[in-house]
Amino acid sequence: MQAMPWVLLVASVVGAAFTFNAFRPSRRWQTQGVSFFAGWLTGELALFHLVWQLAAATVLVALGALDAWPGLVGLGVSIGSWAGLVWLQIGALRSARVMEQALQEGLGPDYRAEIAPGLAERMASRPSRFQLLLPFYLRDRRVERVRSIQYAPGAGRRHRLDVYRPRAGVEGAPVLLQIHGGAWVIGDKGQQGLPLMLHLAARGWVCVANNYRLSPRAKFPDHLVDCKLALRWVREHVAEYGGNPDFVVVTGGSAGGHLSALVALTANDPAYQPGFEETDTAVSACVPFYGVYDLVDLFGRHGGPARGAARFERMVMGTTLAEDQAAFERASPIAHVSEDAPPFFVVHGSRDNLVPVGQARRFVAALRARSREPVLYAEVPGASHAFEIFHSIRTAYAVLGVERFLAWLYSAYRARHPEAPAEPVRDIAS
C-alpha cells in the first residue's frame, strides 16, 4: 500500500490535465486532434468526469493514499480539478441564455408569440433527464428510421440517405436535411446530428441524413454536388415519407456546416448541379454548426506548416492555396453571400480548437451586411468542436434553441401558405 500515495498523485495529475485541457485546448496542429478529443469529452461530460475522479480518489484514500506527502499533494490537485469540472458544468448551463439571446436579437423579443399555437405546444420546455443520464443512447421509440435509400440512381454506395420520421405517421411535415462532417474525408449519415434529428422527428418533422463522396477520391465540388443531389431526392420523393418538399431546412456540422452553408448560398447554381440544372435547390433556411466558411483564411492563417496544409489541400481540393486561390474562394461560403441568402442560424463553440470561432464571426458579419433575411448567431460558451453529437446539457439547450427558430420559421411559412397542414403529425406519445 506504500504505492497508493503516488498512485493518487498520478491519477490526480491525469484528471487535472483533462480538466485544464477542456479550458485551454491546444491549437497547435501537431496536438490539436488529441487535445480536441480529450477536451470534447471532458467539457460535455464534466459531471461524469467529476464522478469518476471522486470515486477513484475515495478508493485510493481508503487504501492509505494520504499516509505520505504525494497523496496529500494529489488530493489538493484533485480538489482543484473538481472545482474546474464544476465550473465547466456551470458554463454549459449558460448555453440556454446564449441561445435565447440569439433568438431574441435575430427574431425580436416577442418572437415566441409569433409561433403558431400547435407548434408552440409541441416544443419541449426543458432538457430530458433520461438523455442527460444516458448521453450516448441515441434512439427514440417515437421515431422510425428508414435506412440507406439510394438518392442518385446508378451512382455509388455513398449516394444513400436515411429518413427519420414520426413512427405514428406524418403528412406534409417540414423537412430537415442533415449533412455530416468529418473533414470531407470521413463520416457517415448515421453518426452525427442525431440529437437534433431525433428531437425534431419525435415532434412532427421528417429528417433526412445523406452520405456523400469522400476525399481523397472525391475532390471539391463533388461533395457539394452530392448534397444537392440529395436535395433533389427530397424535392421529388420526401412527400412519400410524409414530408413537405417545399419547406426544407439544411443543417450540418464542421465539413457538414461548410456544405450546408454552400447548399443554402448556391441555390440553383448550374455550376454545382451538372445534369440536374433545372432542379430547384433553394432551401427555406440554414443552421450550420461550427462550420468552415472561409477556406482561404483557414489555410492561409490557420493551416499550420505548409507541408501539412498542402497535404490536406491536395486531398480535398486537388490543389493548394498557393497554386489556385480562386478555387478556394469558390469553395468558401463567405464568397457566396448575397442579398438572396435564406435565413441563417449560425452556431459555434467559443472553445473550438479545430475551426477558429473567428470563422463564424466573420461569416455572420458578412451575412448581416448583405442578406435581407434574419441572421442569428449563437457563440456557445465553453463549447468545443462537435459538441452536439451526443446528449449533454449544452447539446440540449442548443437543440431546444434551434427548435424554437425552426418553429418560428415554419409558423411564418404556414401564414403564407394556409394550405399547409396545421398539425402534420397524427399522434405524438410523450
Q: What residue ranges do the domains of the chain occupy?
A: 4-93, 95-294+332-416
Q: Is 332 a catalytic residue?
A: no
**From 254, 260, 284, 392, the catalytic residue:** 254
- Please say if the pLDDT value at position 307 is more than 50: no
**Average of per-residue pLDDT across 361-388:** 97
**pLDDT class of 202 with cuts at 50, 70, 90:** very high
**From 226, 385, 391, 392, the catalytic residue:** 385
- The pTM of the full predicted model, rounded to 2 decimals, is 0.94
- Please say if the pLDDT value at position 127 is more than 70: yes
**From 140, 222, 297, 352, the catalytic residue:** 352
Q: Is 140 a catalytic residue?
A: no
Of the candidate CATH numbers 3.30.565.10, 1.10.3720.10, 3.40.50.1820, 3.10.450.50, the domain formed by 95-294+332-416 belongs to 3.40.50.1820
**pLDDT class of 33 with cuts at 50, 70, 90:** confident
Q: What is the pLDDT of residue 1?
A: 61
pLDDT in tens, 144-174: 999 999 999 877 789 999 999 999 999 999 9
Percent of the chain with pLDDT over 90: 84
**Average of per-residue pLDDT across 224-229:** 98
Percent of the chain with pLDDT over 70: 95
Q: What is the pLDDT of residue 428?
A: 47
Q: What is the pLDDT of residue 305?
A: 43
Q: Is 385 a catalytic residue?
A: yes
3-state SS string over the chain? CCCHHHHHHHHHHHHHHHHHHHHCCCCCCCCHHHHHHHHHHHHHCHHHHHHHHHHHHHHHHHCCHHHCHHHHHHHHHHHHHHHHHHHHHHHHHCHHHHHHHHHHHHHCCCHHHHCCHHHHHHCCCCCCHHHHHCCCCCCCCCEEEEEEEECCCCCCCCCEEEEEEECCCECCEEEEEEECCCCCCCCCCCCCCHHHHHHHHCCCCEEEEECCCCCCCCCCCHHHHHHHHHHHHHHHHHHHHCEEEEEEEEEEECHHHHHHHHHHHCCCCHHHCCCCCCCCCCCCEEEEECCCCCHHHHHHHHCCCHHHHHHHHHHHCCCCCCCCHHHHHHCCHHHHCCCCCCCEEEEEECCCCCCCHHHHHHHHHHHHHHCCCCEEEEEECCCCCCCCCCCCHHHHHHHHHHHHHHHHHHHHHHHHCCCCCCCCECCCCC
